[in-house]
């Protein structure tokens, strides 16, 4: 797999756009099925056709916060990112946030440091998927340097999700976005190489085992078995590997990736957001159905952030 720095500028920009818009559409479409059981692909397609607007949830709202902060700070600044989350939540608290983050935002507003507030929730911090669902801008921006990507994914996670499984889930999702970005769109994804790279990257045994399960399930027709082995839940280890699997089942189709992710039921907005981010980072914006793009709420702003992130990649990697 090549590096994004060897890529023509037009392709790089399209992939950044594809990643953020692809994430937001997966979130908005998946939100209509969040918390429900499995569904048929045909029903998801007709749901998408019927919706007049694709309205996103906390997954996209927090991804916007990550992107805004990385752009404004010219890289990662924990205090700035935490304050951006607090400000954005105050403006739109109705986006369907998970239980933990609003409590942490309250602590930070009350003077708790950004790097310690999350340790006060749950036992050992949160391992919810809330930091993995928002990490795609980190995967894009730090795609040229896996160790830096890991460090920034961990630190951005620790604002709200400081459990090892939460941080590692965010890093694995960011790594998948980077691998997808770094694969030229005219080159097939080598699924074995992709999984080996993730397996080498993962530091936690549970995630290594899940990556092995992805390999075993690639030809699986039974969705119940996929859910039983990979999960479709709100916890990072029960959703990040599932999203990667959804992408690797059908790497040439953004549409099929997102529809399959939603069809598994459970935390559908988040699994479709993460799968959509990986797929969009590989295939680029043009691979996302234009009728879905046209319906996405706040699309111009999300695209503007993606363009600014593309322009920041050289600064962040030389700075
Ligand atoms: N909140 C939701 N969906 C609920 C309904 C939304 C509704 N449609 C609406 O409009 O209001 N979705 C969003 O939340 C998920 C991300 O959650 P996040 O940010 O990770 O939250 P939290 O609280 O940190 O963790 C989630 C749960 O995981 C369990 N958990 C985490 N750490 C734990 C630990 N150390 N020990 C035990 N359990 C732990 C807890 O049950 C947490 O509540 C996304 O789906 C997003 O879309
Ligand atoms: Mg959500
Ligand atoms: Mg969700």
* Tens of pLDDT, residues 231-253: 999 999 999 999 999 999 999 99
Q: Which residues sit with Cβ closer than 5 angstroms to ligand 3, an ion?
A: 267, 269-270
| Cβ-Cβ contacts under 8 Å for 63 (sequence gap 6 or more) | 20, 23, 24, 133, 134, 135, 136, 137, 273
| Cβ-Cβ contacts under 8 Å for 245 (sequence gap 6 or more) | 214, 217, 218, 226, 230
Q: Which pLDDT score is estimated for 316?
A: 84
Confidence of residue 285 (pLDDT cuts 50, 70, 90): very high
Task: State the chain's mean pLDDT as an integer.
Answer: 96
Whether 93 is in the pocket of ligand 1, judged by its Cβ within 6 Å, is: no
- Average pLDDT, stretch 149-162? 98
Q: Which pLDDT score is estimated for 2?
A: 52
| Res 135 pLDDT > 80 | yes
Contact present, 59 and 27 (Cβ < 8 Å)? yes
Q: What percent of the chain has pLDDT over 90?
A: 95
> Considering the entire predicted model, what is its pTM?
0.97
Ligand 1 pocket test, candidate residues 60, 62, 101, 122, most atoms within 8 A of CB: 122
Whether 126 is in the pocket of ligand 1, judged by its Cβ within 6 Å, is: yes
Distance between CA 90 and CA 108 in Å, rounded?
A: 13
């Amino acid at each position: 797999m090549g590096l994004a720095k060897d890529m023509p500028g037009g392709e790089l920009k399209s992939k950044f756009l594809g990643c953020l818009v692809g994430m937001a559409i997966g979130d908005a479409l998946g939100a209509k099925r969040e918390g429900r059981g499995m569904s048929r692909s045909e029903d998801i397609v007709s749901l998408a056709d019927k919706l007049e607007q694709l309205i996103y949830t906390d997954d996209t709202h927090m991804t916007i916060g990550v992107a805004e902060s990385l752009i404004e700070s010219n890289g990662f600044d924990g205090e700035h990112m935490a304050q951006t989350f607090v400000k954005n939540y105050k403006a739109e608290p109705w986006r369907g946030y998970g239980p933990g983050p609003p409590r942490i935002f309250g602590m930070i507003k009350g003077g708790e440091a950004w790097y310690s507030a999350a340790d006060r929730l749950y036992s050992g911090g949160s391992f919810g998927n809330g930091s993995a669902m928002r990490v795609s801008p980190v995967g894009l921006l730090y795609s040229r340097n896996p160790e830096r990507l890991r460090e920034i994914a961990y630190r951005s996670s620790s604002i709200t999700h400081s459990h090892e499984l939460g941080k590692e889930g965010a890093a694995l999702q960011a790594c998948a976005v980077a691998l997808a970005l770094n694969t030229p769109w005219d080159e097939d994804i080598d699924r074995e190489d992709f999984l080996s790279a993730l397996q080498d990257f993962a530091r936690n045994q549970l995630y290594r085992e899940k990556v092995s399960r992805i390999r075993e399930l690639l030809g699986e027709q039974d969705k119940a078995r996929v859910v039983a082995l990979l999960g479709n839940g709100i916890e990072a280890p029960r959703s990040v590997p599932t999203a990667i699997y959804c992408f690797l089942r059908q790497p040439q189709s953004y549409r099929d990736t997102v529809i399959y992710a939603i069809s598994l039921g459970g935390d559908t907005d988040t699994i479709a957001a993460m799968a959509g981010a990986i797929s969009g980072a590989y295939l680029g914006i043009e691979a996302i159905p234009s009728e879905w793009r046209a319906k996405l709420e706040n699309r111009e702003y999300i695209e503007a952030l993606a363009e600014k992130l593309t322009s920041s990649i050289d600064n962040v990697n030389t700075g």
